[in-house]
Amino acid sequence: MFNDLFPKANLGIGPHDCLPYSYKAFVIAARYFPEFGGEGSSKVYKRAQHERRDVAAFFAHVLQETGENDISLFNTSLSNEEKADCFYRGGFYNWFERGPNSSFLLPAFPGFQTVDGKRCTEEGRYCKRSIELDYWSPCNESTETHAGQTYHRGCYFGRGALQLSWNYNYGLFQQFLLSRGIKVDLINNPNLVVTKMDPPLAMLASLWFYMTPQPPKPSMHSIVVGDWRQSEKNRRAGFSGPIFGPTSLVINNECGGEDPEEPVPAGPERSLSCKGMLDNFDAIPHMYSWQPDWGNMWRARPCDCEPASYGGPLPYYDPKLYPSKFVKENDRNRLRCVYSIYESPSTFRLDEGNAPCLKYKPKISLTKTGFKD
pLDDT of amino acid 84: 86
pLDDT of amino acid 265: 57
| Portions of the chain given CATH number 3.30.20.10 | 122-210
Confidence of residue 58 (pLDDT cuts 50, 70, 90): very high
Please state whether the predicted TM-score (pTM) of the whole model is above 0.75.
Answer: yes
Rounded to whole angstroms, the Cα distance separating 160 from 205 reads 7
pLDDT of amino acid 257: 57
C-alpha to C-alpha distances, 155 to 27, 32, 150, 152, 288, nearest whole angstrom: 28, 26, 13, 6, 27
The percentage of residues in the chain with a pLDDT greater than 90, rounded to a whole number, is: 83
Chain-centroid distance, C-alpha 331: 22
Q: Express each pLDDT in 82-122 by its tens digit.
A: 888 888 999 999 999 999 899 999 999 999 999 999 999 99
Provide the CATH number for the domain formed by 122-210 in this structure: 3.30.20.10
Q: Which of 13-17, 67-71, 237-241 has the highest mean pLDDT?
A: 13-17
pLDDT of amino acid 264: 53
The percentage of residues in the chain with a pLDDT greater than 70, rounded to a whole number, is: 96
Res. 149: pLDDT tops 80: yes
Res. 249: pLDDT tops 80: yes
Res. 368: pLDDT tops 70: yes
Res. 154: pLDDT tops 90: yes
| Portions of the chain given CATH number 1.10.530 | 1-95+215-281
Q: Is 306 a catalytic residue?
A: no
**Fold entry, domain 1-95+215-281:** Lysozyme (1.10.530)
Res. 78: pLDDT tops 80: yes
C-alpha to C-alpha distances, 127 to 31, 134, 169, 298, 318, nearest whole angstrom: 31, 10, 10, 35, 28
Confidence of residue 269 (pLDDT cuts 50, 70, 90): low
pLDDT of amino acid 325: 96
C-alpha to C-alpha distances, 175 to 133, 194, 314, 336, nearest whole angstrom: 14, 17, 10, 12
Confidence of residue 273 (pLDDT cuts 50, 70, 90): confident
| Among 35, 39, 65, 262, the one annotated catalytic | 65
Rounded to whole angstroms, the Cα distance separating 173 from 202 reads 11
